[in-house]
Structures are given as C-alpha cells and as structure tokens.
Amino acid sequence: MTFIYPPVFFSRVLRTAALLFLLLAGMSPSAAATLPRNSEISRITKERAAVEQTLASLKLQLEEYQSKLHSTTIKESRSFRVLENIRSQISVLERMIGENQSYLKKLDRDIDRLRNEFQGNRRLYGQVSDDFSRTAVSAYKYGRNRDIEHFFAAGSVSKALVRAQYMGFFSRAVHRNVDNLQQVAIKLENSQRALEQSYRQKTETVRDQERQLKSWAASQKEKEAVLDALRKNKQEYRLQLASVQKKRRQLQSRIESLILAEQRALEAERERQRKIFEAKRLQLKRLQAKRLESQRLEANRIKAQRMESVRLEAEQARVKKGTLSRRIQKPMIAKKEIAEVPATTEQSPEKESVAPLPNIDSPELERVSADFERASGSLPWPVKNGVIAHRFGSVEDKDLKIVTTNNGIDISVPASTRVRAVSGGKVVQIAFLPTFGNIVIIRHPKSYFTVYANLGALNVVKDELVTSQQQLGVSGRMAEGGSIVHFEIWKGRAKQNPAKWLR
C-alpha cells in the first residue's frame, strides 16, 4: 500500500518552517513587518530614560530644600532665606509637573507600542501552537516507520528524491518546533510583563503629579504667609532686604572686578605685543634706510671714478697733440663723456604697510575652545537637569516689589552637582567669596569669558588649560538650602545673556 502526503499537509509544513525561520532570526512576523520602527522604539526608550533622570534630580533638589526648611527655627521661619527656599521649591515643583506631563505622554506611547507587541506575540503564539499541533498529529500518523515505504513507493527517481527532501525537512521541523514554541511563549510573557510594568509606572506618575500639585499649592500659601510676616515688621523687612541686595552686589562687584582685571591684563599684553611689533618695524625701516644709503655712496664712488678716468684721458690727449683747438675741444668732449656716464639711481624705500596687530590667543587656546562668534545657542549647560532660579538682566520681583540686576543666570541643582566648562579655554582667575563660594573664570579666544560661581571643591588651578565639558568642581550649598550655580558670559567688558548661548 502506498501513501502520498496531501498538498495541504506540505503547505502547513512550509508555513511552519517560515514561522520557525523568523523566530530563529529573533523576530516575529509582525516585527519583521515593522522593522523600521526599531529606531522609534530606541528613541522612545532613550527619551524615557532622560526624563526619569531629570525627575530623579528634581526630586533630590526638592528634598534638600524641604529638609533645610524643616530644620529652621521659629525666628528664622519668617526671613528672606526661607522665602528664597520656598521660591526654589515652587520652581522645582513647576519643572517637575511639566516633566511629569511629558513623561506621561511618553508612557502612553510606550504602552501603545507594548500593547501592539503583546497582541502580535499572542497571535503568533496561537499560529505556531496551531501549526505545531497539526504537525505533531501528522508526525504521529505518518512517522519514520513509513519513511522507507513512502520513498520506495515513488513512481520515479526524481519523485523519490523530492519525497526524501520533504521527509528530511519535515523531520527537522518537528524536532525544532518545541523549542521555538517555548521561545514564542517567553516573548509573550516578557511583553505582558513590560506592559504591566508600564501601567504601574503610569499609575505611580499620576499619583506623583497629584502630590506635586498639592505640594505646589501648599508652597504658594506658605510663601504668602512669609511675605505677610515680613511686610508687617517693616524694619526687619528693610534690613533683610538690604542684606539680600548687598550679597548680590558683592558677587556682581567681585566678578566685574575680576573680569576688568583680566581685560586690563589682555589690553596690556596687546600693547606690549604692539610695541614689540612697532620696534621690529622701525628696526626693519632703519636697516632698509642704511642699505639705501650704502647703495647711494657706492653709486657716487663709481661715478667719481669714471669722471676721474675721463679727465685723465682728456689731459693725456691734450699733452700729446699740443694744439690749442684740441685743448679747447677736449674739455668739451670730457664734459660730454662725463654727462654720458649713467647715474646710479637710488632705490626708493618700500611702501610702508600697516600690518594687523598680532593675535595674542595661543594656538592651544584656539584649538580647545569653541568659536564663540558662531556658538550662539549651541553651548552645553554647565550643569545637568538644573532649574533657572534667576534670569539674566533687570527683573522686577513681583513679591518684594524691587528690581534686581543679574549679570548671568542662577541655576538650582542638587548640592555637590558636577559643574563643567561650557567650552575649552584657560583658567585665568580663581577667587572666593564667603557668601558665594569659589569663583572660576575661563578665558576663550576673541576676549570671551565664562564665569562659574558658588563652587565648593575645585578640580582646576589657575593658568590650567581645560577642555569642553571638563569638570571644574562641584556646586556648593546655599544658606537657604539646596544649591545654586551662578553662570555668566562676557565679551570683553560687555555682559552677555547666557540663555542665548546655551542649548
């Protein structure tokens, strides 16, 4: 009795093999159809990781401010320090609320992706499971005990070879189906776990958002209470306000004096280089004049020699011929010959060229530093995940009704945050203020300076050449809690708005 496999059976085997091939390649049919989305998945994952890192930094800042606020005494609880602490908390909370909203959007996108992936893996699992069950039944009915019979029952050699290939393929498919089915099951389970984890993260983020909104409202009320208490005691209010303004002016004055001192040093260096250049130019001019004078004297000497030679020849001719006519004509001839002697023209001095002043920026400085003329909007931030507490320029405080001027920006960060150079340059000034810690000033080509204030421990020394993103030190703690990094950019003696230069 001969048996021929039905065509439907072979189509199922081929279908199972195709699915197995995709599984062995590490992807599902739905993943194969959506391969270009891998870059999108990677981007979503990176965005989520970046937001999570930012949120962690903001939570740390908030904890530091709250810890300091809880440790204040009753007398200190109605002061500008507490007011500044509460304001910083409000700024951090507002940033956290915005970041949470962004995070929720990214989680929704990730959940949609994971849900589609889960459904695709579930469909794939059903297909592979169904095909495997059919393959197993066929293997049970038409197993190896009939392989030789089916082979010899072929009507020709070519049919026998075809059957042999199908039987080998079928056998291998059966042996691998179990492992591949388990792999699909693992993928399905992983997709389900990832989806459940994303749901939990979304739920927790929503709860965080609600807590932050409540904390923001409470901080606003607390700020109003502190302001009311300060305004009632006008004398204390004026004293504390004067102290706050004095501290700010001390910082600005100190930085300005350092910048001006460095600018004067640059101008003095340029003047010194100009004098050296002018001295070399004058020396070269004297050498040229001396060379021209030497050429003029040499030309006169040659001219005198020729005149003497002509005179001697004329005298000899007059003595030889002894006639009066020759005596009269010969001097004329001599004069004619003397007149015909070519005169050596003096070389006129070269045109004086006005060369540009030499560049005092060293090649090393230009190599490590960004071109500030083209760096607007592209410089990296000196700290990561910071919150701008005070902006550049003259700003009216709506609560205190005063106008304060800031030569840079104040960035709130967790204490001991790494502070990095926004561009390569040379450390030209290091100073210290009791109220604002260490100050580091870096010079860049074309008279640009960057200033970093309120640093604790330092990692650089004066006259050191630093590269972009090299750590300068860590942020120091503030009396009102948390940490602030003050950052400025100068072009010569002109203050620049750092927000226009940073990314």
From CA 369, how far away is CA 450, in angstroms rounded? 12
From CA 421, how far away is CA 471, in angstroms rounded? 7
Note whether 200 and 113 are same-domain residues: yes
Does residue 124 sit within a domain?
Answer: yes
Note whether 336 and 369 are same-domain residues: no
Q: Which residues of 28-39 are buried (b: 16+ CB within 10 A; e: fewer)?
A: beebeebeeeee
Does residue 243 sit within a domain?
Answer: no
Note whether 60 and 208 are same-domain residues: yes
Does residue 2 sit within a domain?
Answer: no
Query: What Cα–Cα distance (Å) separates residue 342 from each residue in 297, 333, 347, 379?
Result: 15, 16, 15, 70
Query: What Cα–Cα distance (Å) separates residue 278 from each residue in 202, 273, 288, 354?
Result: 72, 9, 15, 10
Note whether 176 and 126 are same-domain residues: yes
Does residue 57 sit within a domain?
Answer: yes
Does residue 408 sit within a domain?
Answer: yes
pLDDT confidence of residue 7: 44
pLDDT in tens, 17-48: 444 444 444 444 444 444 345 666 677 777 77
From CA 113, how far away is CA 41, in angstroms rounded? 8
Note whether 329 and 420 are same-domain residues: no
Identify whether the C-beta of residue 84 lies closer than 8 Å to the C-beta of residue 480. Answer: yes
Domain that holds residue 318: 270-340
Note whether 41 and 163 are same-domain residues: yes
Phi-psi group of 482: left, alpha or beta (phi > 0 → left; psi -120 to 50 → alpha; rest → beta): left
Does residue 101 sit within a domain?
Answer: yes
pLDDT confidence of residue 358: 52
Does residue 457 sit within a domain?
Answer: yes
- Token readout for 103 is 């995070």
Note whether 374 and 489 are same-domain residues: yes
Q: What is the CATH number of the domain that holds 455?
A: 2.70.70.10
Note whether 49 and 186 are same-domain residues: yes
Note whether 303 and 415 are same-domain residues: no
Note whether 161 and 91 are same-domain residues: yes
Residue type, 465: L
pLDDT confidence of residue 8: 44
Residue type, 164: A
* Ranges under pLDDT 70 in the chain: 1-41, 72-78, 132, 135-179, 181, 322-361
Residues with Cβ within 8 Å of 26's Cβ and at least 6 positions away in sequence, in order, are none
Spacing of C-alpha 399 from chain mean position: 36
pLDDT confidence of residue 157: 53
Does residue 250 sit within a domain?
Answer: no
Residues with Cβ within 8 Å of 421's Cβ and at least 6 positions away in sequence, in order, are 382, 442, 450, 452, 466, 467, 468, 469, 470, 472
Note whether 376 and 411 are same-domain residues: yes
Structural element, H or E, at residue 437: strand 437-444
Number of independent structural domains in the chain = 3
Note whether 84 and 191 are same-domain residues: yes
